[in-house]
């Protein structure tokens, strides 16, 4: 979902269309009047509707035309207001009953933290890699038609012991059947990563589970941080709601509540401020439809390392789904959720 796909790009095109239309009519009439009624041109006094420079035709006027000159611009301005308000509604208001993926973004000096309020399980496209990972219950299984796939590595973080990282012994893929199985219990409260590599250790396929929020709060307070080079990961073709807060980098001073940041997705054409002191935070919604990596920047000066406050968002397909390229960006492109743009 690049900026050309967003509702703001569509809004720009609409505004440009009406601006050109009005401009052509306005300047066309202006130049016609300048040529026809310029000073030095003798008026046709034999015609009852003649125009004299510097005088208003009070003897005879066209009431319908005069009303049109007031009504038409008013309708155009009102229509442009409707377009603008519809665009804002499409980006910042979630339609009732629509499911969404909730994220919490915390801006600090000078990095981003990404907390997952909803869990996310995703993997690379099996159709592209020839590898399919399935981990449910007590069994991890890998099916591969990729002859280069050799090893499977499994890592989990969190669980009962906060911050505990477990690297399991590599699992070999049978070169004849292309399968690998292991008795491993899937724990939804843990961050888990399964990576399939070739004989040289080159990564071929990734499967990942990111835990969300449980009734007691964030599981192990697990969060990704751009300071560690970690990406924010979002599912494609799913409404995403960002809850955004500004927080101090060091919590030891209770009087410091952070500075103002602005979460900016330049290729998507959207941004929103993170305002310190607002308990509920600020909100923004997006619906990405293109898989890949996209930059994150801060659009509000926040200190001497403001330019270093960058990150990336990775758009992936949830496990068992593919990114639907034909759907478009429902709320940021065609306005199917927010009216006709």
pLDDT tens for 24-57 read 988 998 888 788 767 666 666 665 555 565 665 6
Cis amide leading into 110 (omega within 30): yes
186-213 residue pLDDT tens: 988 888 999 999 999 999 999 999 988 8
Rg (alpha carbons) of the chain, rounded to whole number: 29
Confidence at residue 50, expressed as pLDDT on a 0 to 100 scale: 57
Instruction: Locate the domains of the chain by residue range.
Output: 3-92, 101-316
Helices within 197-252 (DSSP H only): none
Q: Which residue has the tokens 């090893």?
A: 151
Confidence at residue 311, expressed as pLDDT on a 0 to 100 scale: 94
As given in the structure block, the two tokens for residue 163 are 């911050």
The length of the chain, given as a count of residues? 341
Task: Return phi, psi of residue 156, to 5°.
Answer: -125, 150
* CA 142 from centroid of its chain's CA atoms: 32
> Of 109, 112, 104, which Cα lies nearest the Cα of 256?
109
253-310 residue pLDDT tens: 777 778 999 999 988 878 899 999 888 899 888 888 788 899 999 999 999 999 999 9
**DSSP type of residue 227:** G
Q: Tell me how far apart the alpha carbons of residues 96 and 58 are, in angstroms, rounded to a whole number.
A: 56
Question: Which has more confidence, 3 or 92?
Answer: 92
Confidence at residue 257, expressed as pLDDT on a 0 to 100 scale: 78
Confidence at residue 132, expressed as pLDDT on a 0 to 100 scale: 93
Q: Residue 109 pLDDT more than 50?
A: yes
124-168 residue pLDDT tens: 989 889 999 999 899 999 999 999 999 999 998 875 555 678 888
Q: Tell me how far apart the alpha carbons of residues 335 and 320 are, in angstroms, rounded to a whole number.
A: 27
Q: What is the average pLDDT score of the chain? A: 81
Q: Tell me how far apart the alpha carbons of residues 162 and 166 are, in angstroms, rounded to a whole number.
A: 12
> Of 258, 260, 268, which Cα lies nearest the Cα of 296?
268
Mean pLDDT of 98-109: 87
**In CATH, what is the architecture of 101-316?**
Sandwich (2.60)
Confidence at residue 331, expressed as pLDDT on a 0 to 100 scale: 38
Asked if 240 and 287 touch (Cβ cutoff 8 Å), the reply is: yes
Q: Residue 315 pLDDT more than 60?
A: yes
């Amino acid at each position: 979902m690049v900026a050309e796909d967003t509702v703001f790009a569509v809004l720009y095109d609409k505004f440009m269309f009406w601006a050109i239309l009005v401009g052509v009519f306005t300047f066309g009439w202006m130049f016609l009047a300048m040529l026809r009624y310029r000073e030095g041109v003798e008026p046709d006094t034999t015609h009852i509707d003649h125009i004299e420079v510097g005088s208003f035709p009070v003897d005879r006027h066209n009431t319908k035309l005069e009303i049109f000159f007031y009504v038409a611009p008013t309708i155009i301005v009102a229509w442009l207001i409707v377009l603008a308000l519809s665009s804002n509604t499409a980006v910042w208001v979630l339609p009732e009953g629509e499911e969404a993926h909730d994220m919490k973004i915390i801006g600090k000096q000078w990095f981003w933290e990404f907390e997952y309020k909803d869990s996310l399980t995703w993997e690379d496209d099996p159709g592209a890699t020839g590898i399919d990972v399935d981990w449910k219950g007590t069994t991890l299984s890998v099916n591969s038609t990729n002859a280069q796939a050799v090893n499977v590595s499994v890592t989990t973080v969190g669980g009962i012991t906060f911050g505990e990282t477990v690297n399991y012994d590599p699992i070999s893929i049978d070169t004849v059947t292309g399968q690998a199985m292991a008795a491993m219990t899937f724990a939804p409260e843990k961050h888990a990563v399964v990576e399939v590599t070739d004989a040289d250790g080159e990564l071929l396929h990734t499967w990942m589970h990111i835990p969300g929020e449980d009734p007691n709060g964030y599981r192990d307070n697990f969060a990704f941080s751009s300071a560690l080079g970690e990406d924010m990961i979002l599912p494609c073709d799913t409404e995403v709601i960002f809850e955004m807060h500004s927080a101090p980098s060091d919590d030891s001073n209770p009087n410091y509540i952070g500075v103002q940041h602005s979460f900016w997705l330049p290729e998507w054409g959207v941004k929103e401020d993170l305002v310190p002191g607002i308990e509920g935070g600020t909100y923004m919604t997006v619906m990405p439809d293109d898989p890949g990596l996209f930059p994150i920047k801060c659009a509000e000066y926040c200190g001497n390392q403001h330019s270093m406050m960058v990150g990336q968002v990775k758009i992936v397909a949830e496990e068992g789904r593919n990114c639907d390229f034909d759907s478009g960006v429902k709320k940021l492109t065609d306005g199917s959720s927010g009216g006709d743009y």
